[in-house]
Amino acid sequence: MDILYDCWLAYGKDGSMKWTEKYLRKLCILCSGRVIGSAAKELETAYRRLAGKDPERISEPFSGGCFILRINEGLCAGGYRISVSDDSIVVEGGDENGVLYGVFRFLVLASGGYSPESLNITEKPFFSLRMIDQWDNADGSVERGYSGASIFYEKDRPVSDMKRLTDYARLLSSVGINAICINNVNVHKTETYFITEKFLPDIAKIADAFSDYGIKLYLSVNFAAPMEIDGLPTADPLDEGVINWWKCRAENIYIHIPDFGGFLVKADSENRPGPYSYGRDHAEGANMLAAALKPFGGNVIWRCFVYNCHVDWRDRHTDRAMAAYSNFKPLDGKFADNVYLQIKNGPMDFQIREAVSPLFGAMSDTNCLCEFQITQEYTGQQIDLCYLVPMWKECLDFDTYHSGKGSLVSRNVLGAAGVSNVGSDLCWTGDPLAGANLYGYGRLVFDPGLSAEQIAEEWVRAAVTADNEAAGTICRMLLSSREIYESYTSPLGVGWMVTPHYHYGVDVDGYEYSPWGTYHYSDRNGMGADRTKATGTGYTAQYASHNEEMYEDLSTCPEELLLFFHHLPYTYMLKSGKTLIQHIYDSHFEGSEKAEELLLQWRSLKEKLPAEIYSEAENRFEKQLLNSRQWRDVINTYFFRKSGIDDIHGRKIFR
Amino acid sequence: MDILYDCWLAYGKDGSMKWTEKYLRKLCILCSGRVIGSAAKELETAYRRLAGKDPERISEPFSGGCFILRINEGLCAGGYRISVSDDSIVVEGGDENGVLYGVFRFLVLASGGYSPESLNITEKPFFSLRMIDQWDNADGSVERGYSGASIFYEKDRPVSDMKRLTDYARLLSSVGINAICINNVNVHKTETYFITEKFLPDIAKIADAFSDYGIKLYLSVNFAAPMEIDGLPTADPLDEGVINWWKCRAENIYIHIPDFGGFLVKADSENRPGPYSYGRDHAEGANMLAAALKPFGGNVIWRCFVYNCHVDWRDRHTDRAMAAYSNFKPLDGKFADNVYLQIKNGPMDFQIREAVSPLFGAMSDTNCLCEFQITQEYTGQQIDLCYLVPMWKECLDFDTYHSGKGSLVSRNVLGAAGVSNVGSDLCWTGDPLAGANLYGYGRLVFDPGLSAEQIAEEWVRAAVTADNEAAGTICRMLLSSREIYESYTSPLGVGWMVTPHYHYGVDVDGYEYSPWGTYHYSDRNGMGADRTKATGTGYTAQYASHNEEMYEDLSTCPEELLLFFHHLPYTYMLKSGKTLIQHIYDSHFEGSEKAEELLLQWRSLKEKLPAEIYSEAENRFEKQLLNSRQWRDVINTYFFRKSGIDDIHGRKIFR
């Protein structure tokens, strides 16, 4: 056992599961199948860890303590019920996946020291599609990866050793993930060939490993693949040759991978090819692929992250935030029923604070998914602590008002996709505490009704420590971390201000004169992006009228999004009674102080924590403190130099 | 013949050398040696190009026209005399190199269409050491290279085919270069082993190729090599083991390369190891290496580019410009006589406009070299036209006043080193017009008395066209190019404002909050680095008092360096009667207009120029125009946003 590698599957790490031995020693498996096999194997693993020997397989329940698995057709797909009694522990699932999820749930909570009584649980998945997207490249790199190299590829080949991937499948299925796309949405030259004979046998082995855990495999495809692979003269989705080409590809893929999930497509975005190149729209592009997959039950996941990345910064009317809605809203109802539009939580790009995408709820006749970024690209890169579940929950709980009050995002989408934060690091996620985001993503999309607090507590107890006091401290650290990170980085929803390309660390003007459409428009008088209908880009009109009015009006616009929607003078008075500039100074001084508190809180736990986790994270808290101070001083100096307004508290702002 | 590849050795490209055939057909070589052999070969090459056949070798002068080479011991080393008469052309040299230089000089000028009469020339080299530094890496990359891959290395090995290197040696010796350091001053892992048996046989072949052209080979070495190569416990220059290690290395190198030039060292700079790591000073470090080379006649070239690259931007007292002087001035007189300090022209890093380094003239008891950057790192990257000879000449002609009036930099140094702009591109220099800088560097350090105009004309006529009108236009373009580039980039000597790392394109704040010590300190009131004694960092005191006073006083400080020395309000009135901010707007509008004129001027020459040169350069002039417009608009918007002051001419400044 390695506490870093095992993550939240570190059964018996601190004696808290002792009581389960009585049940785990006799396994009574009353159902069968490959996924059931994995569930049984997991129980065996747990028992071996606890007792140092194999459990006994029995064919009928034993009243002196046993662990029973069975299918209960009264439960829905993926649903399960755990029943704990003196005699036995019974895990019933609506299907094989349900049984597996129930087993994991039991083991994780028990390992976290939760009481036997509290483990009588019945749950069912809220979303049918619960997906993970790997941004892994065939060369072994991971785009926006902060946890080492890819665990899927090295040297332009899929890996051949399935051990690590099997353990990854365990981690993912333990929180209910049932789909994974194993290559980067930016499909480069080598990956374009993943759908050919050159790679399919190897990819089928990976698919097989994930299928054992009820996870379907998807591939990102290159829309121009017919031209690149076979030299077709076009990739026009309405061209007969192209249509047939994809049909043949699909048939062939399903020969290798009978339960293949389908394609993920980033088209016409950031210089990727797509239907626009041929005068076709995204529905025509997606539906062509969907038709090829349809006979085999496959899906097309089509990303809505489509915008012009060659904007002229001089043009203050073009607004990148409007792009997804502008591109896709006119196509509502035109997509085939096995197409899912994957919509990022916000309209920009995974910033620490953005408005919720106006596309949610606006596509009532289209299957939609919500895309979250588990990997912390703009949110601390697994150096700075940033527990993202509260942010994702805000998105899922956001009321779009598109069908009247109560039109929550969670009711407007059929599932979610999360960009993985995993790599070859021993602890999987660079910062071991970033494991909370991977765990949390899975749990939240299984049940969006869960609180961020509950998820944090489950994870901390299973993955770090079941010690009540220490776990409580770490939970509080996690739960405050997003606001801390936000407070010392870009203010009030304006976003960016990061080092170009790297996206870690401060560079206020880094993207200000770039073609990326990401501007804060700070001058000597004020700052912010005016997205109002009245005087700005008109972005607010993409929301249902209730929200449009809320954002349009300064008095009702949520203050944390003030600079996302409005351009305001530094002297603008916030509800707190502070001016905007004073808020910037205050939040940056305080944010950096709180980053220091995180480090001190962590250090206070040293004796109570596994040494490996302690030191990996301590090292990162130290870096976070330096990062927060650089952000604080650069932001404060930058805005002092522009505004000329002093901090009313006279703290040190460098000239 | 290929006009791009041949550069200024494109003999007979347009018929202008026809008259020389009469002489070249009979070669009378009255001296001998390997370099003389190269000179004779060059004459043969020229004749073959002109006449399509080999010249005849004769042993005695022939009165009906012949070409005579001989040594004349009355001339100094490297000096030559060319005498043109009806009977013969005689090239006499003070030594073999002198003969070679004379031959090249004759061929280049004749090929440029200069008249026979004007070729009666006597010249001698002003500096004894005329060096080229390659920043080539063993992996085939070139640091700050804009002309393709390295011509010296590929895949961690020296190249084995000497053809390209021999042609490079021809180009270099044709302008009087007599030393070359063939690897990057940043000595990485592989290059550390260049001084071992693993690489010396291959490097000896390269040395041999350059020796044929009178060019001595140097290697950049890693000061920590004794530790890295042989696991010595230290690289302390006073340690006996270390001293012996370098002695053995030197002995071994000279077995392979009997005329080896010596070592080039970047120590204690930008995270490179050096004597400071062992509590020793630079003299102790350099002298130890010098002692190892001394018995064989080798030199140590020691770079003075030593500064703290981990400065805190918050600290307005530390001044990177002061670093070289602070580090080296106290050591004057302590260096061995085969040590040469290599001092960059300016105190910062090859900006388009800097003050001249205060170290020149301050080291009266030390051998010094001047370092110029031929490769256009900060000066347009061989996209934007920037003829650098006028800038280098300003440096060489700068009066340091250290020994009274007339203490020119050129009299304070014994030679120069130029960072090469050459790579595997067919035309060697990316932009074919960047060839003027390579040619110009060689010519200028051979004779600093030459004018930038004369050098430009020689090069244009030999390398591009001998057509008077076209050559005149191109010369005017070259001669205006530095001021044009300066006018649309960073104003009045303040420097930087470039995209970090790449160093091309505008990013005003790109380095403003970095640890690199390169700040413009712009706020809503003004900008510039205050380096005065009175109120600033005190940098001015590093100059002799005449210059100190000149820079210290706003009324005598040269205006093009105003922001290098002073922090001034935007409303500061320049001698032109313009405010500082208006100067910024004007120069940026005008600079971009002039970039457009360059493109139009170039296009006007289309019919008169070789097509290959025309289109390579046209493509770059188009990019330059875009670059200049982005600089113009970003700079103008940046300073408008900060100052709030409108352009008095009401031109378009984006908000």
DSSP state of A598: H
Size of interface A-B (CB pairs under 8 A): 62
Residue A7 in tokens? 């993550």
Candidate list B377, B384, B467, B486, residue with the active-site label: B377
Q: Which residues pair with A418 in a beta bridge?
A: A132, A372
Residue B617 in tokens? 């350069």
Closest alpha carbon to A327 in A340, A338, A343: A343
Summarised one tens digit per residue, pLDDT across range A564-590 is 999 999 999 999 999 999 999 999 999
Q: What is the ipTM for the molecules in this complex?
A: 0.91
- One DSSP character per residue, A162-193 reads -HHHHHHHHHHHHTT--EEE-S-SS--HHHHG
Q: Is A592 helix (H, G, I), strand (E, B) or coil?
A: helix
Q: What percent of chain A has pLDDT over 70?
A: 100
Looking at residue B450, what is its pLDDT? 98
Residue B168 in tokens? 């490079």
C-alpha count within 13 angstroms, C-beta hemisphere, residue A413: 34
* Bridging pattern class, strands A339-344 and A368-373: parallel
Asked whether A422 and A168 are in contact (CB, 8 A), the reply is yes
Candidate list B143, B156, B228, B270, residue with the active-site label: B270
Summarised one tens digit per residue, pLDDT across range A377-418 is 999 999 999 999 999 999 999 999 999 999 999 999 999 999
Q: What φ, ψ does residue A248 adopt, rounded to 5°?
A: -60, -45
Candidate list A208, A259, A270, A647, residue with the active-site label: A270
Nearest to B644 among A506, A510, A524 (CB): A524
Summarised one tens digit per residue, pLDDT across range B464-522 is 999 999 999 999 999 999 999 999 999 999 999 999 999 999 999 999 999 999 999 99
CB neighbours of A619 closer than 8 A, spacing ≥ 6? none
Please state, rounded to an integer, the average pLDDT across all residues of chain B. 97
CA distance B601 to B479: 14
Judged on CB neighbours under 10 Å (0-12, 13-18, 19+), A148 is middle
Long-range contacts of A636-641 (CB under 8 A, 24+ apart): A636/A584, A636/A585, A636/A588, A636/A589, A637/B314, A637/B513, A638/A508, A638/A522, A638/B509, A638/B513, A639/A522, A639/A527, A639/A570, A639/A581, A639/A584, A639/A585, A640/B523, A641/B522, A641/B523, A641/B524, A641/B642
Looking at residue A592, what is its pLDDT? 98
- Chain B hits for A643, Cβ within 8 Å: 524
Whole-number CA gyration radius for chain A: 25
Cβ-defined contact of A524 to B642 (cutoff 8 Å): yes
Q: Which residue stretches of A377-467 are H helix?
A: 389-397, 409-412, 435-446, 452-463
Question: Band of the pLDDT at A303, cuts 50, 70, 90?
Answer: very high
CB neighbours of B458 closer than 8 A, spacing ≥ 6? B8, B108, B109, B112, B439, B443
CA distance A137 to B23: 65
Cβ-defined contact of B654 to A525 (cutoff 8 Å): no
C-alpha angle A483-A489-A490 in degrees, rounded to nearest 5: 105
Summarised one tens digit per residue, pLDDT across range A165-190 is 999 999 999 999 999 999 999 999 99
Q: Is A79 helix (H, G, I), strand (E, B) or coil?
A: coil
- Chain A hits for B530, Cβ within 8 Å: none
Please say if the pLDDT value at position A516 is more than 90.
Answer: yes
CA distance B635 to B488: 8
CA distance B200 to B255: 10
Cβ-defined contact of B643 to A524 (cutoff 8 Å): yes
- One DSSP character per residue, B600-638 reads HHHHHTGGGS-HHHHHHHHHHHHHHHHHHHHHHHHHHHH
Summarised one tens digit per residue, pLDDT across range B605-617 is 999 999 999 999 9
Looking at residue B630, what is its pLDDT? 98
CA distance A369 to A379: 22
Looking at residue A309, what is its pLDDT? 87
Asked whether B522 and A523 are in contact (CB, 8 A), the reply is no
How many residues does this entry show for chain A? 655
Q: Hey, what amino acid is at A113?
A: G
Tell me the nearest-neighbour CA distance from A468 into chain B, angstroms. 42
Asked whether B265 and B276 are in contact (CB, 8 A), the reply is no
- Chain A hits for B508, Cβ within 8 Å: 509
Q: Report the pLDDT averaged over residues B202-213.
A: 98
Please say if the pLDDT value at position A326 is more than 80.
Answer: yes
Whole-number CA gyration radius for chain B: 25
Cβ-defined contact of A523 to B314 (cutoff 8 Å): no
Nearest-10 crossing angle of helices A452-463, A435-446: 130
Residue B437 in tokens? 């800088």
Residue B72 in tokens? 């004349």
Looking at residue A193, what is its pLDDT? 98
Looking at residue A248, what is its pLDDT? 98
Question: Band of the pLDDT at B596, cuts 50, 70, 90?
Answer: very high
Please say if the pLDDT value at position A16 is more than 90.
Answer: no
Nearest to A641 among B313, B510, B523 (CB): B523
- Chain A hits for B635, Cβ within 8 Å: none
Tell me the nearest-neighbour CA distance from A324 into chain B, angstroms. 26
Looking at residue B271, what is its pLDDT? 85
Please confirm, yes or no, whether B349 is among the known catalytic residues: yes
CA distance B276 to B287: 14
Burial B562-576, CB ≥16 within 10 A → b, else e: bbbbbbbebebeeee
Q: What φ, ψ does residue A385 adopt, rounded to 5°?
A: -70, 130
Q: Report the pLDDT averaged over residues B133-156.
A: 98
CA max distance for chain B: 79
Asked whether B473 and B605 are in contact (CB, 8 A), the reply is yes
Please say if the pLDDT value at position A71 is more than 80.
Answer: yes
Please say if the pLDDT value at position A1 is more than 80.
Answer: no
Q: Which residues pair with B417 in a beta bridge?
A: B131, B371
- Mutate one of B507, B513, B514, B592 to test the A interface: name it (highest A CB count within 10 A): B513
CA distance A272 to A288: 18
Please confirm, yes or no, whether A548 is among the known catalytic residues: no
Looking at residue B12, what is its pLDDT? 86
- Chain A hits for B316, Cβ within 8 Å: 655
C-alpha count within 13 angstroms, C-beta hemisphere, residue A564: 27
Looking at residue A256, what is its pLDDT? 98
Residue B473 in tokens? 């236009």
Cβ-defined contact of A507 to B506 (cutoff 8 Å): no
Summarised one tens digit per residue, pLDDT across range A624-635 is 999 999 999 999
CB atoms within 10 A of CB A232: 17
Please confirm, yes or no, whether A167 is among the known catalytic residues: no
Residue A408 in tokens? 């929550």
Residue A285 in tokens? 């592009």
Please say if the pLDDT value at position B1 is more than 80.
Answer: no
- Chain A hits for B524, Cβ within 8 Å: 524, 641-644
Cβ-defined contact of A630 to B513 (cutoff 8 Å): yes
Nearest-10 crossing angle of helices B96-111, B452-463: 70
Nearest-10 crossing angle of helices B200-211, B240-256: 60
CA distance A529 to A353: 14
Summarised one tens digit per residue, pLDDT across range A354-372 is 999 999 999 999 999 999 9
CA distance A570 to A572: 6
Q: Which residues pair with B71 in a beta bridge?
A: B93
The separation between CA B209 and the C-alpha centre of its own chain, rounded to angstroms, equals 22
Summarised one tens digit per residue, pLDDT across range B86-131 is 999 999 999 999 999 999 999 999 999 999 999 999 999 999 999 9
C-alpha count within 13 angstroms, C-beta hemisphere, residue A408: 12
Long-range contacts of A506-511 (CB under 8 A, 24+ apart): A506/A630, A506/A631, A506/A634, A506/A635, A506/B513, A507/B509, A507/B510, A507/B513, A508/A634, A508/A635, A508/A638, A508/B509, A509/B507, A509/B508, A509/B509, A509/B638, A510/B507, A510/B510
Q: Hey, what amino acid is at A189?
A: K
Cβ-defined contact of A513 to B506 (cutoff 8 Å): yes
